[in-house]
Amino acid sequence: MQRWLGLLLLTILGIKMIGILGLPTHAIPLPSPSTLTSPSPSSETNQSQVNLPPLKIHPLPPSLAKFRSSQSDDYFEQITASPLGYLIWSTFPIKVYVDQSTNPQDSAASNQRFLQWTQAVRQAIADWGLYLPIQEVLDPSQADIRIERQEPPLSRQLDPKTGQLQIPRARNAQTRYEFYDSGDIPSRLRQRMTIQIKPGLSQSGTLATARHEMGHALGLWGHSTQPDDTLYFSQTKESPPISIRDVNTLKKVYQQPTRLGWPLPQF
C-alpha cells in the first residue's frame, strides 16, 4: 500500500487541475469570464507507472436518472475530462463542508455578512441537491467538497512570448481538485474539491458564484456559451438558475466512463 501511495502522490502532482473564476473589481459581482487551466503532466510521471482501473461507466444516481425534459440540447462538447476520466461522483451523498461563523448570535455587521454568505452558499447547494444527493457536514476532514470563505490566491504566469510576468485580475472564486487513494478495501481513486469564494460579494453575487462553482465541483468542468445557463462563461445582469441545459449536460457527463470510484488493481 505504501508503494501505491507513493506512486499516486507522484501521479497527483502531474494531473492536478485548477478551475478559476475571475471578476474585475469594478464589475457587477456576478460570474465573469473564467478559465479552467491544467498544467501538463510531468514528463517523469505518467499513467504507465501506475496500474489504474479501466475506464468504466457508473450507474446514474436515481435523482439524475429520473430527470426528463422535452428539451434535449446541452453543452457537453464544452466539458473537459480529467486525466482519469470525467469528474464523476459515485458515492452518495456527496459530503460538503461550508465555512460558517463561530458565533451566529453576534449582531456585528461583519458577522451578519458572514451569515448572509453562508446562507447564499447553502442555497446554491440546495439547488444542485435536486439532481444529486448532497449532504452538508460539520467536519471539513470528512468533506468531498470544501467551500471556503476567502479570497482566491492570484496565479501569476509568465508570458512565453514576452517573458514578462502577467498579473491577473482579481477573482471572485476558484475551484480546484486533487486525486487521492481512498484507503478502503478495495482501495479506489477518488477526487476531492476545494472551492474558495471571496467575502464582500452581495448575497445575490455570492449565490450566483457558488451555484456556478458547485457546477464545476459536481463534474461540469467547462463552460456554457449560453447566458441562460448557470455555467455560462461570462457575467450577466441576472443570476441564472440551474437550467435544463445545465442538467442535461450533467446527466450526460455522468453517463461517461471514468477511472474515478473504481477499485485499484491489487497485486
In the numeric block, which cell numbers belong to residue 67?
A: 430527470
- pTM recorded for the entire structure: 0.80
Q: Which residues of 256-266 are buried (b: 16+ CB within 10 A; e: fewer)?
A: bebbbbbebee
Tell me, what's the pLDDT at 267?
64
How do residues 22-48 score in pLDDT, each as one tens digit? Answer: 322 222 232 322 333 333 223 333 444
Tell me, what's the pLDDT at 264?
92
In the numeric block, which cell numbers belong to residue 204?
A: 445575490
How do residues 178-189 score in pLDDT, each as one tens digit? Answer: 999 998 889 999
How do residues 242-267 score in pLDDT, each as one tens digit? Answer: 999 999 999 999 999 999 999 998 86
In the numeric block, which cell numbers belong to residue 99?
A: 465555512
| pLDDT value at 16 more than 60 | no
Q: Contact at 8 Å (CB) between 247 and 72?
A: no
What is the helix (H) or strand (E) element at residue 264, kind and residue range?
Answer: none
What are the domain boundaries of the chain? 2-156+166-253
In the numeric block, which cell numbers belong to residue 15?
A: 494531473
Average pLDDT of 18-22?
38
Tell me, what's the pLDDT at 104?
82
Best CA proximity match to 170, nearest among 45, 26, 3, 2: 26
| pLDDT value at 2 more than 50 | no
Higher pLDDT pick, 78 / 238: 78
CA distance 98 to 115: 11
Q: Which long-range contacts (CB under 8 A, 24 or more apart) does 227-230 make?
A: 229/75
CA distance 151 to 170: 9
Tell me, what's the pLDDT at 133?
98
Q: Contact at 8 Å (CB) between 57 and 256?
A: yes
- Return mean pLDDT, the chain: 81
Residue 163 confidence class, pLDDT cut points 50, 70, 90: low
Average pLDDT of 219-223?
97
**What is the dotted CATH code of the domain comprising 2-156+166-253?**
3.40.390.10
Query: How many angstroms separate the Cα of 265 from the Cα of each of 44, 186, 190, 199, 262?
Result: 22, 9, 14, 44, 9
CA distance 28 to 31: 9
How do residues 45-91 score in pLDDT, each as one tens digit? Answer: 344 446 899 999 999 999 999 999 999 999 999 999 999 999 999 99
Tell me, what's the pLDDT at 167?
54
Tell me, what's the pLDDT at 238?
74
Locate cell 454568505: which residue? 117
